[in-house]
């Protein structure tokens, strides 16, 4: 919960889209574990976990028990397939297997009296049988010579062994919790929204108290939080899906038991692509012979692979999965963070290489495609385009529009001039409310890597000017340093002269600036009209 203060009192931001759900878990005493019910079955979770929905629970023991009884000194009787056992709530481990008709627990002695087929005996929490299950009653078993003799031996089991087990379990829980937090979208989104809401709530320099209160009222606050959460979702997927180089991943042997193809990725672990047996051969053929693009979404609070798009010439085919959740290790997550620009260019380069291979194969199979390419090269001498764009660069991230003029000077070389204006945005820089405006002028040389009647792919390199006008406390700051550009793009034919265009470019300054830092990254998508 975010909490803010103003002159009229206190405003609370409870959060957006919070689900309320009655507790279905037994909190008991201050144990490390507690039982929780799902689909009429009982499992065990960490005692500190707040249950909002059982879909997101990290189970210590999966729900499998039909019945549980109230705990006694940290031990809890559980029933599985009609038989009773014991779970230690401190360790979250089933210490006595569910094999017995009746159980009476004695946690202070670390033992339980157990009955099977009408006979009684004693089991220690370590699994050792203290008294054979041969006696007619619990009382008779307790008074037996085996109880007295073996109990003395049992007491000598090193305490160190038990502590080591508990410490091992504690470490495993800590690692699992750390991994869960690192992969949690809700934690990422809450941090993102909270930090930006604090900035947004700041009173601007030229803003009256009445204007500020109106701008930041509860309705506006909720709307802003929803907007920021949507931004967080896009950034989460973009950051976590970096370096998912699906084009270079071999498809494993089809697993009939798990019904899918296993794949091994560098950063995103081992995954299973769920494909039915009937579709398996067709899927493998497409995987081996087509360009592949992976699409992601958020499922169960984690990044998930949801779809693969196969591209063959001008034909695309979508293959959708039940979302395949991805867990990224903390080390790999550190490598992925901050590499957004490099990763995007790498994926584009990988696509270029795949297309080149396919084009070469086509020319071998159908030599006439070369002449077709030459004919198409004579078209599109001049082109103009307009597209929305997004500029990425820390807090200086905003949207704008880009206009471009392209001239083909030789085969396969084109010159393109472009101007991009980014909409003004207000942020907190050096603890000051700062309004900034950014524009970019670029002159790039494009090299066509592959081209057909329907599709062309190119890379480019060039120079430009990146301008910034910033205003803070009625003081203005302007800078327009020279920069260099590197990137790639593609055109897809929609009609005779109209094309769909997407470009990604890194704008890098020759010398770092106080506001612009080393530069920014830009993606634009729009239409191009060729003459």
Query: Residue 488: which pLDDT band, with cuts at 50, 70 and 90?
Result: very high
Kindly give, in sequence order, each residue whose CB lies less than 8 Å from that of residue 172, ignoring residues fewer than 6 positions away: none
| Rounded Cα–Cα distance for residues 228 and 220 (Å) | 12
- Name the DSSP letter for residue 243: T
Q: Which of 377, 375, 385 is nearest to 406 (CA)?
A: 385
Provide the whole-model pTM.
0.38
Q: Which of 198, 189, 194 is nearest to 231 (CA)?
A: 189
- Residue 108 has a pLDDT of 81
Question: How many CB atoms are closer than 10 A to CB 54?
Answer: 17
Mean of pLDDT over the chain: 81
- Give the start-to-end residue ranges of the domains of the chain: 33-176, 183-240, 246-334, 339-530
Kindly give, in sequence order, each residue whose CB lies less than 8 Å from that of residue 303, ignoring residues fewer than 6 positions away: 183, 185, 236, 237, 240, 241, 296, 325, 326, 328
Kindly give, in sequence order, each residue whose CB lies less than 8 Å from that of residue 208, ignoring residues fewer than 6 positions away: none
Q: Which of 258, 271, 314, 318 is nearest to 294 (CA)?
A: 318
- DSSP states of 109-149: GTEEEEEETTEEEEEETTS-EEEEEEESSHHHHHTSHHHHH
Local structure of 471: helix, strand or coil: strand
- pLDDT (mean) for 60-77: 90
Tell me the chain's radius of gyration from C-alpha atoms.
Answer: 32
What are 452-487's pLDDT values in tens digits?
878 889 999 999 998 888 887 777 878 888 999 999
Residues facing residue 457 across a β-bridge: 450, 490
| Most confident listed range (30-34, 154-158, 225-229, 390-394) | 225-229
- pLDDT (mean) for 232-261: 87
| Rounded Cα–Cα distance for residues 353 and 347 (Å) | 10
Q: At what angle do helices 185-201 and 218-240 cross, to 10 degrees?
A: 140
Q: Where are the beta strands (DSSP E) in 359-431?
A: 382-392, 398-410, 413-429
Domain 339-530 top-level CATH class: mainly beta
Phi, psi of 51 (to 5 degrees): -90, 115
| Rounded Cα–Cα distance for residues 242 and 227 (Å) | 23
What are 116-141's pLDDT values in tens digits?
999 999 998 878 888 999 999 999 99
Helical (H) or strand (E) element with 164: helix 159-182
Tokens of residue 521, six digits = 């990254």
More confident residue, 205 or 418: 418
| Rounded Cα–Cα distance for residues 26 and 78 (Å) | 14
Helical (H) or strand (E) element with 518: strand 517-530
Q: Distances from the Cα of 328 to the Cαs of 176, 260, 265, in angstroms? A: 12, 21, 11
- On whether the CB atoms of residues 288 and 246 are closer than 8 A, the answer is no
What are 152-172's pLDDT values in tens digits?
666 665 556 667 777 887 888
- Residue 393 has a pLDDT of 76
Kindly give, in sequence order, each residue whose CB lies less than 8 Å from that of residue 422, ignoring residues fewer than 6 positions away: 389, 391, 398, 399, 400, 437, 438, 439, 440
Q: At what angle do helices 368-377 and 340-365 cross, to 10 degrees?
A: 130
What are 213-246's pLDDT values in tens digits?
999 999 999 999 999 999 999 999 988 888 787 8
Tokens of residue 167, six digits = 């410490």
């Amino acid at each position: 919960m975010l909490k803010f203060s103003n002159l009229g009192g206190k405003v609370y931001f409870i959060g957006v889209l919070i689900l309320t759900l009655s507790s279905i878990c037994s909190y008991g005493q201050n144990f490390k574990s507690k039982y929780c019910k799902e689909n009429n079955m009982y499992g065990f979770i960490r005692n500190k976990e707040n249950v909002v929905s059982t879909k997101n629970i990290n189970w210590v023991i999966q729900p499998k028990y039909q019945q549980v009884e109230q705990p006694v000194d940290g031990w809890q009787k559980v029933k599985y397939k009609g038989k009773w056992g014991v779970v230690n709530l401190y360790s979250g481990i089933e210490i006595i297997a569910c094999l017995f008709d009746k159980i009476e627990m004695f946690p202070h002695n670390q033992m339980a009296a157990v009955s099977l087929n009408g006979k009684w005996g004693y089991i220690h929490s370590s699994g050792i049988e203290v008294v054979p299950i041969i006696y007619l009653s619990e009382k008779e078993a307790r008074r037996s010579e085996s109880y007295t003799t073996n109990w003395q031996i049992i007491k000598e089991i090193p305490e160190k062994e038990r502590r080591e087990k508990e410490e091992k379990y504690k470490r495993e829980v800590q690692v699992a919790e750390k991994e869960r937090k690192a992969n949690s979208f809700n934690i990422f989104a809450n941090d993102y929204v909270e930090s930006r809401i604090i900035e947004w709530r700041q009173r601007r320099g030229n803003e009256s108290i009445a204007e500020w209160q109106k701008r930041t009222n509860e309705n506006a606050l909720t709307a802003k939080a929803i907007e920021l959460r949507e931004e967080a979702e896009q950034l989460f997927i973009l950051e976590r899906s970096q370096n998912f180089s699906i084009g270079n991943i071999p498809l494993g042997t089809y697993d009939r038991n798990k019904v899918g193809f296993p794949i091994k990725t560098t950063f995103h672990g081992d995954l299973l692509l769920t494909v039915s047996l009937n579709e398996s051969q067709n899927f493998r053929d497409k995987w081996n012979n087509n360009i592949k693009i992976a699409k992601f979404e958020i499922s169960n609070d984690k990044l998930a692979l949801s779809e693969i798009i196969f591209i063959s010439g001008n034909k695309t085919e979508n293959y959708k999965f039940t979302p395949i959740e991805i867990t990224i290790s903390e080390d790999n997550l550190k490598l992925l963070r901050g590499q957004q620009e490099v990763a995007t260019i790498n994926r584009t380069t990988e696509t270029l290489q795949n297309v080149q291979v396919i084009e070469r194969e086509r020319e071998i199979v159908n030599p006439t495609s070369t002449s077709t390419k030459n004919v198409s090269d004579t078209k599109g001498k001049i082109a103009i385009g307009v597209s929305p764009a997004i500029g990425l660069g820390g807090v200086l991230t905003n949207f704008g529009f880009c206009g471009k003029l392209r001239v083909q000077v030789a085969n396969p070389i084109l010159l393109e001039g472009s101007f991009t204006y980014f909409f003004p945005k207000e942020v907190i820089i050096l603890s000051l409310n700062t309004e900034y405006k950014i524009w970019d002028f670029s002159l790039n040389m494009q090299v066509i890597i592959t081209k057909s009647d329907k599709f062309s792919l190119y890379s480019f390199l060039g120079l430009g000017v990146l301008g910034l006008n910033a205003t803070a406390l009625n003081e203005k700051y302007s800078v327009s340093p020279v920069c260099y550009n590197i990137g790639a793009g593609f055109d897809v034919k929609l009609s005779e002269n109209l094309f769909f265009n997407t470009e990604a470019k890194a704008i890098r300054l020759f010398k770092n600036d106080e506001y612009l830092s080393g530069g920014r990254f830009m993606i634009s998508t729009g239409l191009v009209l060729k003459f």
